[in-house]
A and B are shown apart, each in its own frame.
Chain A
Amino acid sequence: MNSDLRTPLARARGLGSARYGVHHWWAQRLTAIALIPLVVWFAISLVMMSGADYGAVRAWIGSPVVMVLLILTIAVGLHHGQLGLQVVIEDYVHGDGSKLALIVAVRFIAVLFGLAAIVAVLRIGFGG
């Protein structure tokens, strides 16, 4: 016998495919909005530095404003990418186990590379 008095619809409402409700959707949009100025700045900077040598690149990364914007771009960008890849995985990977394993792997890789890149930026900025 079903002990839950709520209807199946009531139980399903607000959960979404990964059971996080609208949080995923909202986080994806917020990171998207934040990335508009960040990515425009980053793409222009990257193009401007096409001919830059080692010293020039380090000097650029190490300036305070660039450091802050770079760390923001890394963190927000990888978060946004991980949220997007999760949706792709949920759409195309149908086995529960492999789906979960892939989502976890993507998140781990994003955190690992993100943290390594942030540490690299800080090291350059603080002269390590």
Chain B
Amino acid sequence: MSVANRPVHRPLSPHLQVYKPQLTSVLSILHRATGIALSVGALYLALWAICASASPATYATFQSFNTSILGRIFLGGWLFCTFYHLCNGIRHLFWDAGYGFELKDAYRSGWIVVAVSLIATVVSWIAGLRLV
């Protein structure tokens, strides 16, 4: 093995557990977590369309889960993940464009994301439950 190809055991960068949680890091982790949750949720929503196209009986089975407590939590959770990932995603797009990197701005946009996604979630929960 040549010198260049020999594996180098460099020290690893300290990982999550080393740091004190901060708004910026918690929101960053939450962005990834909600992204993973939404990917699973997308499969569930695909199943919704598939069941609707199948037969009334299939759809009724699917709906009986949606209207159960677990289903309500699932769909309510999906709404929060959606609004959070949407708001924080827009925050990321501003960063991509080169804006909002100052620590003060990062915190302010972070709190805006928290507030907007929570308000949107609560409003849609109330609206949804009133329509049921």
Q: Which residues of A does B touch, CB under 8 Å?
A: 29, 32-33, 35-36, 39-40, 43-44, 46-51, 54, 57-58, 61, 70, 74, 77-78, 81-82, 84-85, 88, 109, 113-114, 116-117, 119-121, 123-124, 128
Contact = CB atoms under 8 A, between A and B. Distances in A.
B127 A124 contact: no
6 contacts: A88-B35, A88-B36, A113-B42, A113-B43, A117-B46, A120-B53
Contact of B32 (A50, A78, A88, A119): A88
A51 to B, nearest CB: 4
B60 interface: yes
Given A119-B53, A123-B53, 20 more contacts: A32-B89, A35-B89, A36-B90, A39-B86, A50-B127, A50-B129, A51-B131, A57-B59, A74-B46, A78-B42, A82-B39, A84-B32, A84-B36, A88-B32, A88-B36, A113-B43, A116-B50, A120-B49, A120-B50, A124-B49
